[in-house]
Amino acid sequence: MKRSRLDSVLLYATAILTCALLVFPIYWLVVTALSEPDQLRQLPPKFWPDQPRWGVFAQILAERPILQWLGNSALAAIGAVTLSMTVSVLAGYSLSRFKVRGGQSLGLFILTAKMLPATLLVIPLFGIFRQLELIGSLWSIILAHATLIIPFTTWMLKGYFDTIPRELEQAAMVDGCSPLGAMVRVILPVSAPGLAATALYGFVLSWSDYAYARTFLTNAQTNWTANLGITTMKGEYVSNWSDISAASILVALPILLIYLFLERYLVGGLTAGSDK
């Protein structure tokens, strides 16, 4: 069906206006980071700085331990994703392929666990980690983030494995592979895109966490994750929005890049296990 000219104009106008409005806050973050702090106190506001201070990123990295915070976030996320992927690849495969007794109820439980409030688990975990002397260590965060990630990745992977025909591993087994060998040599390589997308989701979940980091890592600044560091900057430097914005961009960047890469898988991933 051809659209009329008027409809086309309306459609483009709506699309451009909507995108502009919805993305504006992110644009404003960039403008704020690139503006001199005293320029921000001028009215009317400048929608693009006269002289963007591109050096702000290097400067903020030098002034504050942001690299260390980013490093901590990355270590926590990599640890949590590795742990979670290891157990949930096996579990997702098992839930997809085998009729295990109790598998159904485990699946339901995992789905419920996806919806647990962090503020509920954070109390007992605090007690447990204190007893294990993990408070202040990244291990506490790795374990805590695994509670966020495992329910998510197990469901996504189960959904993904369900889309791979069973004939593949059956053929491999006819050719003499053991069931486990068939999974490792045939199914996992075929699932590589799904595994990568799932792992990146896990990474996003861990990277975005604030509640657990706020509770378990407050003792020393050197242990902070990036999100935790940003909130302390918001508290202490009330006036310096330029620096906070620059730091925020550095913290959001990894997720934005992952998002650009993942956008195509986003639909499949988020809907897996909920509306199939």
Partner 1 sequence: MPRAAFLDLARPSRRHWLGNLLLAPAVLLIGLIIVYPLFVSVDLSFQNVNIARLDQARRPFTTANYERLFASEDFWNACWVTFKLVIIVSTGCFLLGMATALLVNNRFKGQALARLLVALPWAVPEVIAVVIFAWLFDSSFGLMNWIFIKLGLVDTTINWFSSPSASFAVVCVVMIWKGYPFVSIMLLAGLQSIPEDFYNAARVDGASAWQRLLNITIPSLMPVLGVTLVLVMLWVFRDFSIIYVLTGGGPLKATQSLSIMTYEQAFGFFKMGYASAIGVITLIVCIIASRLMIARAPDTM
Instruction: Convert 96-121 into a string of H (helix), E (strand) and C (coil).
Output: HHCCCCCHHHHHHHHHHHCCCCHHHH
Give me the least distance between CB of 54 and partner 1, in Å please: 20
Q: Given the complex with partner 1, which of 58 and 184 has the nearer CB atom?
A: 184
Q: Provide the minimum distance between the beta carbon of 79 and partner 1 in the complex, in angstroms, as a whole number.
A: 13
Query: Which residue has 């890049």 as its token pair?
Result: 257
**N-term to C-term CA, the chain:** 31
**For residues 40 and 190, which CB has a smaller minimum distance to partner 1 in the complex?**
40
Q: How far is the CB of 94 from partner 1 (least distance, A)?
A: 4
Closer CB to partner 1, 19 or 196, in the complex? 19
From CA 34, how far away is CA 82, in angstroms rounded? 36
Instruction: Report, in Å, the least distance between residue 238 CB and partner 1.
Output: 9
- Whose Cβ is closer to partner 1: residue 50's or residue 263's? 263
Task: Give the DSSP letter of residue 176.
Answer: T
**163: which residues sit within 8 A by CB, 6+ positions away?**
none
Cβ contact 145:205 at 8 Å: yes
- Based on the number of CB atoms within 10 Å of its own CB, is 53 exposed (0-12), middle (13-18) or buried (19 or more)? middle
Nearest distance, CB of residue 62 and partner 1, angstroms: 20
DSSP state of 238: T
255 contacts 204 by C-beta, under 8 angstroms: yes
Q: Which is nearer to partner 1, 121 or 190 (CB)?
A: 121
Residue with tokens 């959904």: 159
**With contact defined as beta carbons under 8 Å apart, do 146 and 186 qualify?**
no
Residue 30 vs 190, nearer CB to partner 1 = 30
Q: In the complex with partner 1, which residue's Cβ is closer, 74 or 122? A: 122
CB 245, min distance to partner 1, A: 7
Q: Contact at 8 Å (CB) between 66 and 60?
A: yes
Q: How far is the CB of 58 from partner 1 (least distance, A)?
A: 20
Phi-psi category of residue 83: left, alpha or beta, with phi > 0 → left and psi -120 to 50 → alpha: alpha
